[in-house]
Structure 1
């Protein structure tokens, strides 16, 4: 077993996703408040929820990092200061920032705050990293997605030994440097650098000639068209030893806007692979079952990003921006009735009596099940659960703890 501590860091778009990430094996989570986070479309956390979240996180010996990584304009400064005054006594473990002014404000109001430099600062070289660490006092650098393993290794060697490097291992990639994109602001007036990106890089485009308005010429590779800026998703599940060898101490999963099912599935797969490696690095062997589990969450086609070389056309998906969704998230276990032998489930998508499903939980393989019987809250027999977040009771072959997840394979 290695003594090296490697952190698995998961996204937390709201309080449910945050708790799911911790329960399913994350060592730390990153989340945004209702203001000043670059994921305005995520649920984000109110001040009361941040307090609840940090209590839950610390009860589970994990850490919670808050993102304040917008690039603020002048009129953002007074409310930012006021917001930080309201949260300064909450024991948040670190703040992710990308702007020197924001960093100065955070340190002024919370002097002992630990600072992590967000990927939004697009730190792509060791000189910039050294500036943040040696002159600004940052504890951790979140590397730009555009860095190679060799560049990361070189960065680690020249920085002070206690500097931590965090790098993305999984999730969506951006066609601009570390998300510094103006397309959304230009096209629909929603600023990606202030948390409101509409992802126009995923849209389908056609060409119009100046003197022929209304005549659209498709930009296409085949008859389905072409998504010319649509990057594949990053996946480094099969390459964790390479990242750790390069000096990465925090493995970051992208996806604050994804579902609890996505968070649980992805965190579980990376937790299994990371634990196996840390247990015996010299005899570690990647297991295909981890990848198969990972693919049960919605995803685009995968690649290794910039870690081994600059991506060529194989890093893009020119035919579609759709996700692969082979499984439906149908429910979460909320309890068990010993007298009736029924599992209490909070429904998320419709399922019916007689269907084949899978049940999985933290640090376990999934179990195949058949929905044998189903009842509503008043113990009336029902054939299906059609209402979102409906509480139902289900007859299964085994007893499952709370927070286990039910899923079913979609019909092809």
Structure 2
């Protein structure tokens, strides 16, 4: 369940057109899922009514003026259960490891969220599925050797051989039982045994160490045979003539920085290719980011929504993002529903060597051991220059 896993919100990002706003203005942190309400807060505990069971170790939180106040539930005690509006409700007394002071300011029936479901996390730690391959054993007995064949459920067969004179076991029943038991023990391999078939008039005596070695060799041979039989896809042949790229001109937004990238696009018909932004050729104001997230939509100023509404301007004017001394212009392309953040490369970035160049690689600072020792007040004893 992705809603129970840490994330900072989610969106289908216009896969099925615009559904809801994709911004998360309440809090940038993960608050989890709503589970109920806080009824009251005491000195060390709080009482909450929930619509889902809680457990010791759950991570709970409340949102107070866009600030998430979280705590770990050390002890969760069920006080009673009842129905409200036809829905089951649970009342808990919750004792956190440490009760945050901000909880004392909560009003009754404040929403309560859970961003760590302890029981769900524990369930994830347990193995949920295991892929294993069934095999069938067949032991062929000849006068001068033993051949152990193993066949997988896909129909792939491999074998291993043990040379030497074959001796009949004194206790045939016990030897057969030991044979089946040893071959069925496949340990940490991905196989499990479905049965053992002995094709012989006698049950041979095989020392345990030799039988285990024979089993290992047969499994190793089966691994190699399955890998060899695994279907491998072939590379699609190059189209002749090559396809033509839909645009003959690429701006810096195509991020073409090196010669190989430029040759790739030229091979498919692109005639004019601007250098990537990292090439420092765009010194003026350009779109440094293009997003589907639109502040006009978030502020209910989208002209598509306001069309025909009296008193709402549908003419789109630029906005500004201001953070300290940084000012970015926002321009809106409403036809494809895009917001363009317009910015200018800073002077100290323009003066730096191009990324990937020899001069850029020399920008990494280095210092010799002698110069490093000069920065130490008390020089280590025994050091001589």
Structure-2-length-normalised TM-score: 0.20
Q: Rg larger in 1 or in 2?
A: 2
Higher relative contact order (CA 8 A, sep 6+): 1
* Higher fraction of strand: 2
Structure-1-length-normalised TM-score: 0.19
* Higher fraction of helix: 1
